[in-house]
Structure formats: structure tokens, C-alpha cells
Amino acid sequence: MKFKNPFSTFAFAMLVLISSCSKDNNPTVNASNQTAINLRASGNYVILAKTAINNTPTSTITGNLGLSPAAESFITGLSLTDATGFATSAQITGHVFAADMVSPTSSNLTTAVENMITAYNDAAGRQNPDFLELATGNIGGKTLTPGLYKWTSTVTIPTSVTLNGGANDVWIFQISQNLSMSAATNIILVGGAQAKNIFWQVAGHANLGVGAHFEGIILSMTGITFQTGASINGRALAQTAVILDANTIVDPQ
């Protein structure tokens, strides 16, 4: 009679178990290829919000701002100068648009906000994450490779994080609660990674700490708050308000 080797069976089972765990917990394995989120018209704005854009001067903003359905009066702290269909500010290299400005600004903003919501839903709806509940949401100090990441908790960045990948690689972060970045921390891009290919889908509130530097596009179902001196190379696209305090906001190229 021929007997099976029980140790071979055990070793095979352990190999399968380790392989499945590494997909969820090891941020340095090769992840599946993701396609970028199509922002459509919402990608014309470095800041886009629905209810308010409030700024404590002085911020330095490169790119367009949009607010809809709220009116221009809900944009504060930027000392706007009205023109036809847009406004300008000494703090902004770009134009400011609000829902109550003359046509076609209102309809353009309606489309942009609809596209923002579609982009959010696309990011939130991506299936089969490469990394699930990585570090139980505390990603400080980690180096993250391209792929789809998913958390059902709040994500915290208490220390700087590195994103390592090529110029065409895509990161999508699905966050079911809040995103909180501590003061004086950084998101660092290496290997040619580009902010325009990094998407942070946040169901809760995104908060960037004092003097922190962020990279990528924030798609928030609620609000985005930049604490004093925080900066972003990316976009702040919020389905409620964006709050600024002497920040540097740069449209990603």
C-alpha cells in the first residue's frame, strides 16, 4: 500500500496560506495593473467643492477653483475680483468659478460636479483590492507599490509615506472612513511616480496636518481640511467644503 507524505500536504497548505496573506499585508509585492480614474470635467479644477471654499490668508494656489451649487459668497478669504463669468485673486494663478456667475459657468460647474461624483463612485467601486486593511490603517513609514488598496477603517499617516512606481503606474486608495495626516509629514514619490495617477477616495473627512505635504487627488464624499501651511501637489475634490489656511495648492502635471 502507498501512503501519502503528510508533511508534503502540510507544506503545500502553508504555502497557499502564506501566498494569500502576502497579497493583503505586504505592500512591496507586485500588484495588479489599475487604470486611472477618469475625472473628466472635474479635472479642470485644482479645488472643486459643493458647499463652500473657505480660506485663511495667505494661500498660494495654482489652478482653477470651482464651487457649485453654492454661490460665490460662499468662497471666503480670497479677496476675489469679479470678471465676466469668473473671478480672480492675487492668491490664485488661475480663475475662480461659482454657480451664480453668468453662463456658461453654471452649466460647466454642474457638469464638473457630476463628473466628480462619477469619479468618486468609480474609485469606490473598484473590485478585488491588492491590499486589504494594510497595517490596520496606519500606513506611516511604509513604501507603497502601485495597486488597489482598501480599508474599512480610518487611515492615518503619522509619519512620512513613500509611493514607489513608474510614471504610468496607478494607485487607488479606498478609505471607508476618514483620512488623517499628521503635522510635518510627507508623501514622497519615487521611481517616476506622478501625483496625477494617485487617487484617494475618502468616504469621511480628509485632514492634512500643519505643514504636511500631500501628493495625489483627493476625492472626498465629505470635506477636506488643510491645516496651517499644509500643501498638496494634486487636487482637492470634495462633495461638501474645502477649508484652507495659508496653504500651497498646485495642479498636478
* CA 194 to the chain's CA centroid: 13
Q: How much is the pLDDT for 15? A: 42
**Stretch (H or E) spanning 21:** helix 6-25
- Which residues face 220 on adjacent strands? 202, 238
Per-residue pLDDT reduced to its tens digit, 111-152 = 999 999 999 999 999 999 999 999 999 999 999 999 999 999
Residue type, 167: A
- Divide the 253 residues of the chain into consecutive groups of 10 and give the mean pLDDT of each group: 46 42 47 89 99 99 99 99 98 99 98 99 98 99 99 99 98 99 99 98 99 99 98 99 99 89
Provide CB contacts within 8 A for 146, sequence distance 6+: 31, 33, 34, 165, 166, 169, 170, 171, 193
d(CA 235, CA 233): 7
Q: Domain segments of the chain: what residues?
A: 6-250
Q: How much is the pLDDT for 92? A: 99
